[in-house]
Structure formats: C-alpha cells, structure tokens
Structure 1
Amino acid sequence: MKAHKYWSIVALITMIGTFYTGYKKLKSSHKYFAFSSMLCMVMVIYTGHKMITGNRKEKTKKEKVTEREE
C-alpha cells in the first residue's frame, strides 16, 4: 500500500527533525516536530492496520463464492 510507505517515510523525517531540534534546544520547533511525528505515526498505524485487515465485505463475498462452488 503506497500510503503506508509514504506515511512511514514522513514519520522518519519528522523523527529526525524532532531529534535535531531537541539536540539544538529549539523548544518551539521541537514541539511542532514532535506533534507532526506523532500524527504521522498514528497514520502509519492506521494505514498498516487497513492493509493487514483488508475489506470485510470482500472477504465475506469470497467466502460465499467458495462455499457455493463446493
């Protein structure tokens, strides 16, 4: 899933930014990078969950079709 990959890359970039601003003691920038990183990680978890679970309607349709064929 493309969205998962892109959110993961952006999360990594914002984590690096968070580390850098924390190291340089830039408190206001650090706060924004940390919030952005947290948002990106939430989206990574959400897109990964969607990728793993899939669509339930499609799964039930596939199960019904295989039952009818047997």
Structure 2
Amino acid sequence: MVAKIQQAPLLHIRFDGRSFDIPLADLDVGALSSDRELKQALGGYLDVRPDRLRDYTIDRHETGNLTVRPEAVFG
C-alpha cells in the first residue's frame, strides 16, 4: 500500500522574472479567499503594491493550489 502524502496548498506565481511557490499559510489566506485578498497578501509578501498584480488572473485548482499569472491577451 502506498501512503499518500498530503502537502499544504501552494500559490505559484511568476513575477518580475522570478518564480515563487508560496504556502498559502505563509500568506494567511486560503483557496476560498477573494482575488482582492489574495493579491493584497501577495503584494505584501513580494514587497510590491498590490496594484502591480491588477492584471493578473488567479486560477484555482482542485488540489487547493493556486496559480497567479498575467492575464492572457489574444489578437
């Protein structure tokens, strides 16, 4: 029998040329937090104003993980 190891939910972001995997607990937010709350906490963590994340989209995954990425622009 294989034991399944449960990992704490993470937020993944690529920002300013760097990638970060941040435990949601470090941000004091959860997967059900609003986009505004997540961007506010993430701005504090990255030491930038939250409005720098204004055009970023938050993808919520079934695992509880989050991906924060620039909004896709087509055309």
Based on CA coordinates, which of the two structures has the bigger radius of gyration? Answer: 1
Q: TM-score category by the smaller chain? A: under 0.3
> Which structure's residues are more often helix, by fraction?
1
> Which structure's residues are more often strand, by fraction?
2
- Normalised to the residue count of structure 2, the TM-score between the two structures is 0.25
